[in-house]
Amino acid sequence: MRQVGSVLWPKLRVLQVYGANTGVGKTIFSSILCRAFQKHFPKVHYLKPVSTGPLEEADDSSGSGGETVVVFTQTLTRYDQTHDMNIKAKCLYQFSDPVSPHIAARSSKESVTDDSIRAVLHDELSSYATSEDGIAIVETAGGVMSPAPSGISQADLYRPFRLPVLLVGDHQLGGISTTISAWESLHVRGYDVQSVALFSESRYDNHSYLKDYFAERDVLAFSVPPPLERHSNDAEDARAMQEYYEEAASSSSVAAFSSQLLQNHDKRMADLQSMSTEAVEAIWHPFMQHSERSKDTITAIDSAYGDYFATHTTQQALATSQNPTTSLIKPAFDASASWWTQGLGHGNPRLALTAAHAAGRYGHVMFASAVHEPALRLAQTLLTNMGNPRLAKVFYTDNGSAGMEVAVKMGIRAAAARNGWSADDEIVILGLKGSYHGDTMGTMDCSEPSIYNKKEPWYTGRGHWLDFPQVKMRKGRWIVESLDELKTSLEGEKTFDSLDDIFDFQKRTDDYAAYKQHCDATLAELVEKGTKFGALVMEPILLGAGGMMFADPLFQRCLVDCVRHHSSLATETQPQHGGVSLDWTGMPVICDEIFTGLYRLGRFSASSFLGVDADIVANAKLLTGGVLPLCTTTASQAVFDAFVSEDKTDALLHGHSYTAHPVGCSVANESLRSMMKMEREGVWDGFKGHWSSSGESLEASSPDHQAGDVWSMWSEAFVKAVSHRSQVDSVFALGSVLAITLKDPDGKSYASKAAYEMRDKLLAGAPGEEWVIHSRVLGNVWYAMAAMTTTRDTIESLEEKIFAALE
Amino acid sequence: MRQVGSVLWPKLRVLQVYGANTGVGKTIFSSILCRAFQKHFPKVHYLKPVSTGPLEEADDSSGSGGETVVVFTQTLTRYDQTHDMNIKAKCLYQFSDPVSPHIAARSSKESVTDDSIRAVLHDELSSYATSEDGIAIVETAGGVMSPAPSGISQADLYRPFRLPVLLVGDHQLGGISTTISAWESLHVRGYDVQSVALFSESRYDNHSYLKDYFAERDVLAFSVPPPLERHSNDAEDARAMQEYYEEAASSSSVAAFSSQLLQNHDKRMADLQSMSTEAVEAIWHPFMQHSERSKDTITAIDSAYGDYFATHTTQQALATSQNPTTSLIKPAFDASASWWTQGLGHGNPRLALTAAHAAGRYGHVMFASAVHEPALRLAQTLLTNMGNPRLAKVFYTDNGSAGMEVAVKMGIRAAAARNGWSADDEIVILGLKGSYHGDTMGTMDCSEPSIYNKKEPWYTGRGHWLDFPQVKMRKGRWIVESLDELKTSLEGEKTFDSLDDIFDFQKRTDDYAAYKQHCDATLAELVEKGTKFGALVMEPILLGAGGMMFADPLFQRCLVDCVRHHSSLATETQPQHGGVSLDWTGMPVICDEIFTGLYRLGRFSASSFLGVDADIVANAKLLTGGVLPLCTTTASQAVFDAFVSEDKTDALLHGHSYTAHPVGCSVANESLRSMMKMEREGVWDGFKGHWSSSGESLEASSPDHQAGDVWSMWSEAFVKAVSHRSQVDSVFALGSVLAITLKDPDGKSYASKAAYEMRDKLLAGAPGEEWVIHSRVLGNVWYAMAAMTTTRDTIESLEEKIFAALE
């Protein structure tokens, strides 16, 4: 699949000309600028990617505002016979119907997709990038939000390139409003609008107002007089027009703009190339041993769009310095989904507008004893859609770590209250080995001692952690690796025909019995020793940061059953609600779905894979679709009630200033709405077809499980093929996640560098490759995940690159 | 000062009509809607707040697009002689010059400010709110962003009301673009745009495209045919026009819109009134004992603008039910600055656009081994402007609590490394009593045992906390209350002529000597006992959540000096950088400036009041101007270097998914830029004039101190007056913060309810009061703080209300 993105060539300046409206003079300004730049550059390119109207009669009354190459060329040739013409004009798509491109495209035989326009434009611009200095002016059609052939707006069509923009403002009555709004539409789409240009017009004086307005926003606005009215095509008229263009092109305003444009180009290059060095100087990076840091190990991210970063690296700088036709910026697939947060594509204009709407409606409003619509609706959406009748109350924090601190406080305080434990009692959590719940002290204490925490003076592991069987594909077969402790039916490893079968608990009664015996015995022993368990804390299905491990869902299900029904843990419970007890027994069950929830594994709720109704669930990351931090901790009524008394100090005295910030809640509402809509509309059905269970009946073989529910965006065939590669130990895929465990010669896991080579190879890419893969590793595990909007096409291209890298 | 805000009367529907451009038919649509609503309501109001052009010849060529009351009334009267006219039309401001209002206003004698237009509009609409059902249509001038008389845009002028909006779209060539952009400009300003209406026009077919486009955004778009061209004013023409209006008004599109408008009005009321009940159902509130929660104790915040919330309470619902001319929504000054975060006004369009720009340019991009412009620039801005040469590296987290966890990890790990302590050693922090650094476990452990943490099973106080002398104004005199332990020169309390004198350390050498003796002795004793101090952790000047205490800055300064130079703490330090050692001695000094920094107290850096260069500084809250969470922890090179080795596990293995999220960093850059600009331009000089030191020379009497540097937005005269109120124990003000300690009959502090009455009284307001005060309390301390953009006028009105409430 072709993937083109942001470009920056050292010798080729590119300027995109947008219009605040149709008929504001984009072509005239383009023409003036071409003339002005003739003085600077041996070659000036004028490019109109899409034009409508018949070539021979294009004029201002055509559907596209008559801004066609013909008009442009006429302008140049008719009024400029004296000049040495070093201006090349070109149109990429020409529709004869003089209407808006989206209408013209309908009646045209040519099929023009956004991708094809982008690819052709990219190639055309690439062909201009030489070792000679040059400039290209790319003129859009109509206004900023005017539809392109596919119906998408101009601003959205060209957004992947994120070219520097000149916005031609509207000099007419009402033009102040249309100019500012057009600028805002470009601004919220992440464009760098360097300048606003418009005709000076004494009656409305828009240009005076707009110069001041934009100066305050660090945007240079300038004006030139409007062109003369044409009376005829005679020689005198032509001379007058030539004079007009000459004067405009050599005016001080245009000179100031030109000089700024050239400076900005140089500054952008310089900034991009110095960013890594400056970062080394000013930044303390997360999770990094800085002895390994240098400017060469830092990726500068210029912007991002859809699945891709626009990246600049030292390697890229070198490639460009050796060959100026190489862009300094390269698209890189964001394979860590920006640390597992990305869900709906980078630079998503709907999420950007949603964020701005909330910021415009509220800013932040404090949440103590208060409520606002975005937070209320989000809480209700979560409670309704988790499919867990226990859950009743939503608590807000700012990130997963804080939200898990709250979850643990909730759990252990509820357990302490019911068991009559005091704050002096040593209360611990029950967890799984390799769990990871965050970096603040309380959540660090929920993980067993490891290299993440062993040098932290205040770390105190407060728990008991069980080993668990893992699901893997190895040499083409799905297996569940057993535990050393399990000397029963599951000894060694067990093979399954499909991933779906592993989730079909009704067919696995023997395994369940073995697990139950093991968990019961372990619990009994611990409780007998006097261990006070405040909560079971667990990441359902996937243990993420601990090393991307796929837990046997049956084991996790069984563990919850044991915890809830183990005789030694029995405590008095609350009365039943409507026949079904929604109260916790044994200990509160906390599901950390920060990584796994909200469709990362293909479902709204990750614990639904287990058929488990948790007492407390934490969500974050995908919650806001990959825009900004927010976390929810959702609890049962019984847990909530444990904090209610007449004494203020019994309350959960926890809260952050930005608790339930409306911007985050609004973006979360929009993200969830989008993903739920995608699920409803079957957007992911194409992926499901690539999994072996898809051919089967969709009837449930057990109440919690439907065949076809377990699927991944990565095809099963690909996973199988990968599992046969010689350097691969095992692999799995679920939802958008793919994890490949590489064989490590030294037997190390987190400390291993086996996956680094793969990561570096994918980021470097093959010579001339159009896009590369930016990924993160966890020890010897190389993993990748997609956004929920990533297409099958893109996944296929990724599969090819990944497969090739495993050679 | 008049303060008008969002309004919602049960019987009066109000619709604001905006135009995507001039000349798109706002007046015609208003007219059609007035006719349509005649069927529903006994009274229909048409209101044009500002109109330009001479009354007798207003037409479409006038500067305001001719949308004047005259045209409107002509339209109604000329073509509608048959109707029983129950439509009342009115214009509030009429400028005779037929140009844009901002130009017309210049040449007019009448001075028209935004505030006056808002007040007059508010009063006019209020007069329509009766016990009878009615509707008012408020037509704006020009396009959405067209300038009002003051030069501000239409959308910004009317934003405080946040009326439901009908946007009249543009049916002309290019109108798709201008309509969408206009909608976006309204959307990012927090408006509820309920509908888009435009003329159907077969050539460009904008209406078909826009109907689909807006349907996807849950906005109803509809169209009616354009009016006929007028040929003359003869009877036939008139009859044709009458027919046109009749048909349009009774069309199914308009009927659908009308019915939606009425439903939305009812739904908005119902939602607003049920929000508190629903919140009780679905939300777990921060810092609340929920036995005290009911729908009556929850404030519903409909929106916010500038300094004010638009609030709805049970009390307001009652008032409205008794009298339908009372709005269901009332402006309430946000006196907690939304939990101390608010700095640049709620609903700030620049911050909203900045957030959207970053979301559009990046979304989130992960920060591990990466860098992006907003994070880099923010780090550099902080390093440059803190005025602290020690600071060298910036670490990002999502909120103050997480950022302080990082600060403490940095500090104690650096201390452990230098002192050769192992992770098993018990390392503690040195702090002040009543400190508060956050709610995650690691920061809770930095506070001494208190009601905040005593019931938390995992809480372990890890520190030693010193008592400290406090600054207060009592009975008109500035005092420093001494400590019981200090049996020296500061015994009892000491009086100062001005707050400024308290900060003039050079004049307080005796006090310093007494403090030094005390601190040195305490430290010596603790170190002798074997206490291993990992860091001094301190909120400079103001201890916030612990009870809003004003620490004697000289004591804090002295404590730092002692810690850094105490012989028993001496450790080997790094070599000096350029003659001045930037390395820490004794123990790293951590300044928690999350609340006090970034201008909350009037200065960029709060520790600058102490003349102290901290080794680690945490910033949050005001950092993002009150929009969304972000925190920075800035550290010295020496602290950073303690984590650098060849061993990955020596690194600070901390990081959150949304670390350095570009949206937060961008908003922070814009917030800091704005506040630094305000400081540079002397925006706060007016406030400084109300402080006693202002008349003095600005020459420094000591290197760290300039007279006039210590000031508050609250006037000293007011603070003095408050201090004399009988129920007031003491009071202080600094920067934007005011804190009043009320006498508590039972001698309780945090558990006291003395300030609750004051809070409730201010929120209820006097009968008929236009706006009230929403505040939070800390035990017996009632406090208020302003945004950095709050005007002296507003502060004066607040001072009056607060003073009155203390009667």
Put simply, whether B152 touches A (Cβ < 8 Å) is no
CB nearest A455 (choices: B182, B621, B650): B650
pLDDT in tens, B442-488: 999 999 998 778 899 999 999 999 999 999 999 999 999 987 766 55
| Cβ-defined contact of B362 to A190 (cutoff 8 Å) | yes
A638-659 per-position pLDDT tens digit = 999 999 999 989 999 999 999 9
pLDDT averaged over every residue in chain B? 90
Per-residue model confidence (pLDDT) at position A196: 98
CA distance A369 to chain B (A): 5
Res. A698: pLDDT tops 50? no
| pLDDT attached to residue B697 | 47
Q: How far is A173 from chain B (nearest CA, A)?
A: 7
Has residue B440 got a pLDDT over 50? yes
Pick from B145, B412, B440: which is nearest to A177 by CB? B145
**Which residues of chain A are within 8 Å of residue B103 when distances are taken between CB atoms?**
205
The helix (run of H) or strand (run of E) holding residue A512 is: helix A509-528
Q: Is B202 on the interface with A (CB under 8 A)?
A: no
d(C-alpha A321, C-alpha A10), whole Å: 9
Q: Which residues of B touch A142 (CB under 8 A)?
A: 174, 176-177
Instruction: Indicate whether B70 pLDDT > 70.
Output: no
**Chain B residue with the nearest C-alpha to that of A635:** B284
Report pLDDT digits (tens) over A400-426: 999 999 999 999 999 999 999 988 899
Across the interface, whether the CB atoms of A365 and B301 are under 8 A apart is answered yes
Give the pLDDT band of residue B67 (cuts 50, 70, 90). very low
Dihedral sign computed on CA atoms, order A724, A725, A727, A730: negative
Residue pair B273/B296 in contact (Cβ under 8 Å)? The answer is no
> What's the pLDDT at A67?
38
For chains A and B, CB pairs below 8 A equal: 606
Closest chain B C-alpha to A153 CA, distance in angstroms: 8
pLDDT bracket for residue B367 (50, 70, 90): very high
* Out of A164-178, B4-18, B28-42, B140-154, least confident range: B28-42
Q: Which residues lie below 8 Å from residue A278, measured CB to CB, with a gap of 6+?
A: B371, B376, B380
Taking an 8 Å cut-off on Cβ atoms, the answer to whether B751 and A648 are in contact is: yes
Q: At what angle do helices B175-187 and A175-187 cross, to 10 degrees?
A: 70
The phi, psi pair for B185, rounded to 5°, reads: -60, -40
CB contact under 8 A, B457 and A425: yes
Nearest beta carbon to residue A368 from set B185, B286, B291: B286
Give the pLDDT confidence score for residue A64 in this predicted structure.
37
Cross-chain CB nearest to B401 (options A362, A402, A425)? A402
| Mean pLDDT on B561-583 | 74
Alpha-helix runs per DSSP H in B231-251: 235-249
Q: Cβ–Cβ of A646/B355 closer than 8 Å?
A: no
Judging contacts by C-beta atoms under 8 Å, the chain A residues touching residue B153 are 177, 180
pTM of the complete model: 0.96
Position A491 scores a pLDDT of: 62
Average pLDDT over residues A594-599: 97
* Residue in chain A nearest B359 by alpha carbon: A352
| pLDDT the model gives residue B358 | 98
CA distances from B15 to A93, B194, B258 (A): 44, 10, 11
Buried b or exposed e, range B658-696, using 16+ CB within 10 angstroms:
bbbbbbbbbbbbbbbbbbeeebeeeebeebbebbbbbee
- Mean residue pLDDT across chain A: 90
Angle between helices A662-680 and A349-361 (to 10 degrees): 140
* 3-class state of residue B1 by DSSP: coil
Q: How far is CA A382 from CA A388, A610, A632, A673, in A?
A: 10, 18, 9, 11
pLDDT at residue A242, rounded to an integer: 84
For chain B, list the domains and their CATH numbers. Answer: 12-267 (3.40.50.300), 349-680 (3.40.640.10)
Q: Are A282 and B383 an interchain contact pair (Cβ–Cβ within 8 Å)? A: yes
- Flag whether residue B174 sits within 8 Å of chain A, measured between CB atoms: yes
pLDDT of residue A535 exceeding 70, the answer is yes
The yes-or-no verdict on residue A149 having pLDDT over 60 is yes
Half-sphere exposure at residue A99, Cβ-oriented, CA atoms within 13 angstroms: 15
Residue B493 has pLDDT above 70, yes or no: yes
When pLDDT is cut at 50, 70 and 90, the band that residue A492 belongs to is confident
pLDDT digits (tens, 9 = 90+) for A318-329: 999 999 999 999
What integer pLDDT is reported at residue A697 of this predicted model? 47
C-alpha distances out from residue A193 to A163, A220, A235, A626, B496, Å: 9, 9, 38, 25, 55
A675 touches chain B (CB under 8 A): no
Question: Hey, of B202, B216, B371, which one would you mutate to test binding to chain A, going by the most A CBs within 10 A of its CB?
Answer: B371
Q: Is A452 on the interface with B (CB under 8 A)?
A: yes
| A408 has a chain B CB within 8 A of its CB | yes
Query: pLDDT band for position A72 (50/70/90)?
Result: low
pLDDT at B698: 47
**Cβ of A417 under 8 Å from any chain B Cβ?**
no
Please list every residue in chain A whose beta carbon sits closer than 8 Å to the beta carbon of residue B299: 369-371
Where is pLDDT greater, at A76 or A807?
A807
- Tell me if A144 and B181 make a contact (CB, 8 A cut-off): yes
d(CA B342, CA B789): 10
pLDDT 10s digits, A31-68: 999 999 988 888 899 999 998 876 544 333 333 333 34
Task: Provide the pLDDT for residue A451.
Answer: 79
Chosen for mutation from A171, A298, A658 (greatest number of chain B CBs closer than 10 Å) is A658
Is residue B622 helix, strand or coil? helix
Residue B270 CA to its chain's centroid (Å) = 27
Residues from chain A that touch B620, judged by Cβ atoms under 8 A, are 657
Q: What order do you get walking across the sheet with A427-432 strand by strand?
A: A391-397, A631-636, A616-619, A589-592, A532-538, A427-432, A463-466
pLDDT band, very low/low/confident/very high, at A575 (cuts 50, 70, 90): low
- Cα gap A722→A738, rounded to integer Å: 11
Are residues B22 and A351, on separate chains, in Cβ contact within 8 Å? no
ipTM above 0.90, yes or no: yes
- Interface check for B282 against chain A (CB to CB < 8 A): the answer is yes
How would residue B99 be classed by pLDDT, with cut points 50, 70 and 90?
A: confident
Query: CA-to-CA distance for B229 and B237, rounded, in angstroms?
Result: 9
Among chain A residues, the shortest Cα distance to B334 is held by A365
Task: Give percent above pLDDT 70 in chain B.
Answer: 90
Q: In whole angstroms, what is the distance from residue A286 CA to residue A754 CA?
A: 21
Express each pLDDT in B724-749 by its tens digit.
Answer: 999 999 999 999 999 999 997 776 65
Per-residue confidence (pLDDT) for residue A56, from 0 to 100: 45
Predicted confidence at residue B802, as pLDDT, reads 97
Q: What is the pLDDT of residues A706-749, one digit of tens each?
A: 656 899 999 999 999 999 999 999 999 999 999 999 997 776 65
- Best mutation target among A21, A272, A284 (most B Cβ atoms within 10 Å) is A284
Beta carbons of B554 and B705 less than 8 angstroms apart: no
Which of B308, B336, B397, B441 is the best mutation test for A, with the most CBs of A within 10 A?
B441
pLDDT value of position A55: 53
Helix, strand, coil tally for chain A in percent (to 5): 40, 20, 40
Average pLDDT over residues A478-502: 81
Q: Which residues of B touch A191 (CB under 8 A)?
A: 360-361
**Nearest residue of A to residue B456 by CA position?**
A423
Backbone torsion region of residue B318, taken as left when φ is above 0, otherwise alpha when ψ lies between -120 and 50, otherwise beta: alpha
Whether the pLDDT of residue B614 is over 70: the answer is yes
pLDDT value at A158 more than 90: yes
Q: Please give the average per-residue pLDDT across A583-596, as a whole number.
A: 97
pLDDT top residue among B460 and A238? B460
Give the residue from chain A lying closest to B182, CA to CA. Answer: A181
CA nearest to A203 within chain B: B99
Structure confidence by residue, pLDDT tens digits, B143-202: 999 999 999 999 999 999 999 999 999 999 999 999 999 999 999 999 999 999 999 988
B524 touches chain A (CB under 8 A): no
Contacts of B290 (CB under 8 A, 6+ apart): A640, A643, A644, A651, B284
